[in-house]
Amino acid sequence: MMYRQLSIMLLCLGASTCSLAGSTRIAVAANFTAPMEAITHAFEEQTGHTVSVSFGSSGKLFAQVQNGAPFDAFLSADTAKPEALVNAGLAIKESRFTYAVGTLALYGGDSTDAKRLLESGDYNKLAIANPRLAPYGAAAMETLQALGVADSAASKLVTGENISQTWQFVFTGNADIGFIALSQIIKGGTPPTGAWVVPGQLHSPIHQDAVLLERGKDNPASQSLLDFLKGDTAREIIQRYGYATVQP
């Protein structure tokens, strides 16, 4: 019996993921879908942990966390919602950090001069994410106001529940142009022809914060994932998708 137990212990020591691998469930802002999928793949390969990701608007995910949704960590598209969760005792204050700084883009297809259409008013529908739920939508509204075209655009707006739905409006032609996340259209580090990368001075910075939730505080896989987000592998992926990163 002792020999059998020793053999099992040695077998476990020889397997990098034996008994050490865990799982975590996280909520992630929809704009971060593509980089998060790449990060998750790299994280699972390197650690043996598994990650279940739910994407959605930051506002809806925030409400779900408040109502007891079983998430271990939250990657928002802003700073206010993670801070509010900390203040409500639902998240760990010391765990909060900025994992990415988002970039807004206006797009209507590779052959469309999106900025010219916006400024001329020569379009039928302009898609934005819901500014009450999605920080990219709020940034889009600030940009319209800064450009002096908010009033002329008001009757032409179509509003997506989140930035993914906003992109779908543009992709399917239900909107001529739309304010989306640069990460949704960038390829090889280069925006497509016709897209307008919105200068950061036209809207409030889109700092995107992550936070460990109370449910995940004793889950090593959850903490490991947040640590991984601060590392070189994740930062390279994040930058590849058009985001900036800050030193943690």
Instruction: Encode pLDDT of 236-246 as tens digits.
Output: 999 999 999 98
| Per-residue pLDDT at 219 exceeds 90 | yes
Range 40-65 average pLDDT: 96
Return the percentage of the chain with pLDDT > 90, whole number.
Answer: 81
Burial class (CB in 10 A: 0-12, 13-18, 19+), 231: middle
Q: What is the pLDDT of residue 133?
A: 83
pLDDT digits (tens, 9 = 90+) for 72-103: 999 999 999 999 999 999 999 999 999 999 99
Note whether 2-102+206-240 and 104-197 share their fold: yes
| pTM (predicted TM-score) | 0.82
Which residue did the predictor score with more confidence, 17 or 147? 147
The residue whose two tokens read 């409500």 is 88
Q: What is the pLDDT of residue 248?
A: 63
For residue 91, give both structure tokens. 């998240």
CA distances (Å), origin 42, targets 35, 47, 121, 140, 212: 11, 9, 44, 32, 20
Candidate from 14-18, 21-25, 39-43, 115-119 with smallest mean pLDDT: 14-18
Give 2-102+206-240's CATH code, choosing from 3.40.190.10, 1.10.3720.10, 2.40.160.10, 3.40.50.150. 3.40.190.10
CATH number for the domain whose boundaries are 104-197: 3.40.190.10
Instruction: Name the residue ranges covered by the structural domains of the chain.
Output: 2-102+206-240, 104-197
Buried b (16+ CB within 10 A) or exposed e, 161-174: bbbbbbbbbbbeee
Range 199-217 average pLDDT: 96
